[in-house]
Structure 1
Amino acid sequence: MTVLIPSYEPDERLIGLIHQLVAADNRDIVIVDDGSGDNYKRIFASAKQLGCTILTHERNMGKGRALKTGFHYIKKLSSKDGVICADSDGQHLPADIMRIADVVDRLPHHIILGSRQFTGEVPLRSRFGNTATRQIYKFTTGTAIHDTQTGLRGFSNDMLDWLCSIPGERFEYEMNMLLQARSAGYSLTEIPIETVYLEENKSSHFRPLADSFAVYLPIIKFSGASLLSALLDYGLLLLIHMLTANLLLAVVGARICSSLANYTMNRRFVFAEDGPSEVRRSMPKYFALVVLILTLNYGLMYGLNEMAHVPLLISKLVTEGVLFLLSFWSQRKFVYPKSTGSTSKKPADC
């Protein structure tokens, strides 16, 4: 089993963790110095003397890139062992790292998450950030995960190609991993670990505004595309209904136009699918989903507007709100799945 530690401007806690890992088990340890600079060379030199492999970025490139650098290196070793990712700031206890390693051996094709329970004294920004991300992830995917931001994660060796292909250079990489896991054929398993925050988590390099924005960006972009399409849909719905007094024609005509706009925005800007082959693959699935959503849309609106006599605009707002989550989940899972776990594809470089 290889322990991979991305590290930026570490302190002596990194050396303490290495000593404990070496004492507990003679595992391979790979550390990625993510552009820490000359002031930290002494710490990385000490880690190298303890038997660790040190990979160095000339400048800070972000945690996601550091992890992919490590995955790429481990992949070239042609080892069959799994990989455990841990942070360098003392928040992950050696005993918990070993527990995750044991589960990786028993559960291939799973992402093993060291799940903090957030009991005791937890810094306010950490508690709030984890709660917000957990709720947004559940809303987006329909899956509940207790700790979406944990840096303690375990992977079987056959997942390395996929791990190298996931987009994201900073902290958003770890969220993208969770968002794409199921479509790539991997399950998520949480293992409870100790919650450790040292000195109010001052050593964290997470930037609350910039990195939070990057983590939530896929959801923000999808919501923006949906809002623009919805405005177009609402306008056309009211216009066609005013001209024809035919609800079915208004719903179908408005949805055809807005779905074309929504498909283009999601393919280009949300799920980053482009090129003729991606269009041929995703377009039939997208418009099959449109037919399903349209059927549900009309059924719900008919029940609300024609039977319950709810005003048309309110009926539309309620219907779209109900179908928003289904649309996002379906597009991520079936239309733009990024199924990079397929063994038939050329291995991806990091």
Structure 2
Amino acid sequence: MKPIHDTWLVIPLYNEEQVIGDVIRAALPTFEHIVCIDDGSTDKSGQAALNAGATVITHPINLGQGAALQTGFDYLTKYTDARYAVTFDADGQHRVSDAVAMRERALADDLAIIYGSRFLEGQVDISPLKRLVLKTAAMVTRWQTGLHLTDAHNGLRLLRMDAVKRIYLRQSRMAHASEIVNELARTRLPWAEMPVHIDYTDYSRAKGQSLLNSVNILVDLILG
């Protein structure tokens, strides 16, 4: 496949020095443009991303994933001629091939927004607690927005730039995942949901992200 020039990967980055270089090097042959937002990391994540070939923007303090994504969106809007943005996790759980499929679908069907879902195909290797929380989040999102999503808190999304320009994220923690869906729903731009794969690695499991994210999502749903 020829390198893709019109689509930027936007990667929020916080203390992922161990894996971010591999994530970027795996993606660069396909997506030539990657911007990482180093959100106040206390390790050398930003330097590792820069060494691997990404553009790096640094937050001097940790502001949260929502703020990191917004910084990335602002950069694309102001300084690039990107056609699409793909939000992509830093820990190696997302697949480049899924991002490619999203772009192809957006081009073929003239879509502005594509949400990734881990529940559209087959079984997902997650705990019963996390499955319950994610299903509850999707139900709440459906009630709030009218969008019938199966996986409202999936971090892999493709946004056409007209969608990017119509949203502004203010929430931190996991609340930004609900906020971005709410903001995109208000644009009334054409959208779809596509199956994607989440590769739960030994590294991500060791960090305990699955349980922590479940708790954060639950807290945000209650407070929201």
- Report if TM-score (shorter chain) is over 0.5: yes
- Kept in 1, the 8 Å contact 2:12–2:89? The answer is yes
| Unaligned residue ranges in structure 2 (runs of 5+) | 1-6
Residue of structure 2 in register with 1:158 after alignment: 162
Match among 91, 94, 100 for residue 92 of structure 1? 94
- CA separation of 1:108 and 1:83: change in aligned 2, threshold 3 A: farther
Which deviations, in whole Å up to 9, do the C-alpha atoms of 1:122-167 show, x marking residues without a partner?
A: 133321221221222233344321111100000111222223x243
TM-score normalised per structure 2: 0.83
Q: How does 1:1-350 map to 2 (within 5 A)?
A: 1-23=7-29, 25-37=30-42, 40-41=43-44, 43-108=45-110, 110-117=112-119, 119-163=123-167, 165-199=168-202, 201-203=205-207, 204=209, 206-218=212-224
Give 3-state SS (helix, strand or coil) of 1:135's partner. helix
Match of 1:327 in 2: none
Once residues 13 and 218 of structure 2 are traced to their aligned partners in structure 1, the CA distance between those partners, rounded to angstroms, is: 20
Structure 2 distance, partners of 1:58, 1:211, is 26
Shift in Å, 1:109:
5.3
Distance (Å, rounded) in 1 between the aligned partners of 2:216 and 2:193: 27
Give the 3 Å change call, closer, same or farther, for CA 210–120 of structure 1 in structure 2.
Answer: closer
Structure 1 segments unaligned to the other structure (5+ residues): 219-350
Distance 2:144 2:112 in 1: 20
Is the CA contact (8 Å cut-off) linking 2:84 and 2:160 kept in structure 1? yes
Q: 1:85 offset after TM fit, Å?
A: 0.6
Specify the SS of the correspondent of 1:162.
coil
Deviation at 1:214, TM superposition (A): 2.6
Letter in 2 for 1:21: A
Q: Provide the aligned C-alpha RMSD in A.
A: 2.3
SS of alignment partner, residue 148 of structure 1:
coil
More helix by share: 1
Q: Please report how far the alpha carbon of residue 61 of structure 1 lies from its aligned counterpart in structure 2 after TM superposition.
A: 0.7
Instruction: After superposition, give the CA deviation of every residue in 1:238-275 in whole Å (9 maximum; x if it has no partner).
Output: xxxxxxxxxxxxxxxxxxxxxxxxxxxxxxxxxxxxxx
Cα distance in 2 for partners of 1:28, 1:174 equals 23
**AA of the residue aligned to 1:198:** T
The secondary structure found in structure 2 opposite 1:67 is: helix
Identity %: 23
After superposition, what is the alpha-carbon deviation per residue over 1:41-98, rounded to whole angstroms, capped at 9, x for unaligned? 1x43232123211111111111100000111111111414211111011110121122
The SS at the match of 1:15 is helix
Instruction: Give CA-to-partner distance per residue, 1:160-215, whole Å, 9 cap, x none.
Output: 2223x243233212212212323222233111112322247443285544553334
Structure that is richer in strand per residue: 2
CA 1:12 to 1:101, structure 2 compared with 1: closer, same or farther past 3 Å?
farther
Structure 1 residue identity aligned to 2:18: E
Distance 1:194 1:109, change over 3 A: closer
Structure with max Cα Rg: 1
| Contact 2:8/2:82, CA 8 A, preserved across alignment | no
Give, as a single letter, the amino acid of the residue that structure 2 aligns with 1:131: K
Q: Secondary structure of 1:12's match?
A: coil
Equivalences, count: 213
Q: Measured at CA, do residues 216 and 175 of structure 1 come closer, stay the same or move farther in structure 2, by a change above 3 Å?
A: farther
Structure-1-length-normalised TM-score: 0.55
Larger relative contact order (CA 8 Å, sep ≥ 6): 2
